[in-house]
Amino acid sequence: MTSGADATGDAEAIDPDVDLHVPAQRAETAGWHKWPVLAAISAGGAVGACARHGATLLWPAHEGTFPWAVFWVNVTGCALIGVLMVLVGEGGRTAPALVRPFLGVGVLGGFTTFSTYALDFSGLWERGEAGIAFAYAGGTLAAAMGAVWMGASATRAALNRTAAP
C-alpha cells in the first residue's frame, strides 16, 4: 500500500496496520467496519490452526525427540509470510481489503505457533533434554528469520524477473 507520491513522484510506503492512536485510522475499526475484518481473520485462523493440527497429527513428536512438525510449520509459515508481505506491501501493488487479514493474520497466524513452540521447549527442558531444547529454540529462531528473508527475497526476484523487458 502507498500513501501517495512525494516530490520526486515516488510512492511513499506506509504501514498497513491501523494505529489506534490516530483517530482517522481508529475509525476503520468502529461500528460495522470491524466485522468483515474479524470474520476474515477468524475464518483464516480456523484454516491455519486446522492445518497446523493436521501436521502435528501426521508427524507427531515423541518424548525426547526434536519436534520436527512444529519446527517445519513455523519455518514454512514464516517463508509464506515473507512472500505475502512483498505481494501486498511493496511495489505499489494493492490487494483486496480482506486478503491481508485473512491470509496474514488469519491463515498464517493460525498456522504458525509460538505457544506450541514454547510448550515443546519447556517439555524438553523439564525432561532434562537441554541440548535438544536449545537446538530447537535456536534452530527455530534462525530458520524462521531466514525463511522470512528467503521468502521475501525470492518473491522480489521473481517479480523483478517478470517485470524486466
Residue 22 maps to a domain? no
The kind and range of the H/E element at 11 are strand 11-13
Residue 129 maps to a domain? yes
pLDDT digits (tens, 9 = 90+) for 69-93: 999 999 999 999 999 999 988 877 7
First to last CA, the chain: 25
Range of the domain at 105: 34-163
Against a cut of 0.85, is the pTM above it? no
Residue 108 maps to a domain? yes
How far does CA 128 lie from the centroid of its chain? 32
How many domains does the chain fold into?
1
Task: Check if the beta carbon of residue 52 is closer than 8 Å to that of residue 67.
Answer: no
Residue 18 maps to a domain? no
Cell of 25: 485510522
Residue 58 maps to a domain? yes
Residue 28 maps to a domain? no
CA dihedral 46, 47, 51, 54 (to 10 degrees): 60
Residue 3 maps to a domain? no
Residue 40 maps to a domain? yes
pLDDT digits (tens, 9 = 90+) for 9-26: 443 333 456 666 677 666
